[in-house]
Structure 1
Amino acid sequence: MTIGTAMAAPLLGGLVILTPLGAGRIARAQETPTVGRLQEPSPRGEAARQIAELLRNGVDVDPQEVIDSMPSLEALATRRSEIAEELMEFSLVKFLEPPSPTAQRGTFHAAIEDYMTWSSHRLDAALDLTPSLDDRRNVIAQEVAKIRRVEEIYRELTETRGVGVTQQNLLELEFKRLQLETRLAHELRTEGN
């Protein structure tokens, strides 16, 4: 046992039970969550308290003011696409870096998952900018083709032990592909009506 990680608690009859240090503090913190107990006084801590209060309580606002200040749908979609593209690139850079000695198992797949999440957000933005049903179909088909190819590579990697890609990772990727193919099927059905 590591010293400092557990403490002995005497019980009736001379028995002793080991409990993790701080277990009581953790349980108490979970029972009565309050803003301010977890953060030390600092600019970051104060910002965290303000954000927590805002997220819990919302803000007083006239909805019409928000509506009147909205950018156009095209401007929103364009900016979402730009941000998603940038974050997709960050994900790829992270993916291509050699793993550090302290890298956790699953970081290979986690980087791909991160990329796929932002790719999906970029697709949503692209579809908001795509006027015709044919163009929408083509945009989604390109995403499907890309994921199908990544899935093939994953399938090959799952057959190679110790690569950091598991059968579960493969299933997660297959599910993402199926979601996209379902989306494409809906677009094709809409086009057929």
Structure 2
Amino acid sequence: MTRHDTVRAAAFITFEGIDGAGKSTHLATLAERLRSQGREVVVTREPGGTPLAEVLRGCLLHTPMDTLTEVLLMFAARRDHLRQVIEPALAAGQVVLCDRFTDATFAYQGYGRGFDLGVLRALENWVQATDAGVRQPDLTLWFDVPPAVAAARLARVRSPDKFELEPQAFFERAAAGYAQRAAEAPQRFVRIDADVAVEEVWRQVEAACRVRGWLS
């Protein structure tokens, strides 16, 4: 495969991290850079990304429910998102940039809320099944930031949803969950130190994409 073929191949890149990590800003910057190099880019998010999944997002962010219900709605939204957006885009050779994916469910519901990790793994394997195996990102950029720093950032910008209202201990558990997921899949995770200047954070994102041939 030539470098040109590598650059043009489909790619599924996810942006992960606790609320307030600053990932959304860099997702938009990466989309702009890729498009400037002639790539077709789909920018999407979870929960959400389709009309059905966006309705479920509203329920998940603002309606009280038990954790099992939360998990089932999350994976229902993910299934529709995969079928309607992610898989068609990848089949067309596009780059998919997704703000959160299954790692967030493990971090928030699994580690943050203490939900059964075995059940999450079973749902992951079932919902994300394709003819080629279980769909996983080609690259996961994990924006790692101390929960206290993330909370201070959130307090300055907008009204919180029900997850953002969780105490700091919840986000400490979620951050630990991200670290565990990264340890389990080091080939796809790149840790981004998000507790530095914005320009330095971008340099880390850029380097992770350049080494894979997605940026020139």
Scaled by the length of structure 1, the TM-score of the pair is: 0.34
Larger Rg: 1
* Higher RCO structure (Cα 8 Å, ≥6 apart): 2
Scaled by the length of structure 2, the TM-score of the pair is: 0.31
* Higher helix proportion: 1
* Higher strand proportion: 2
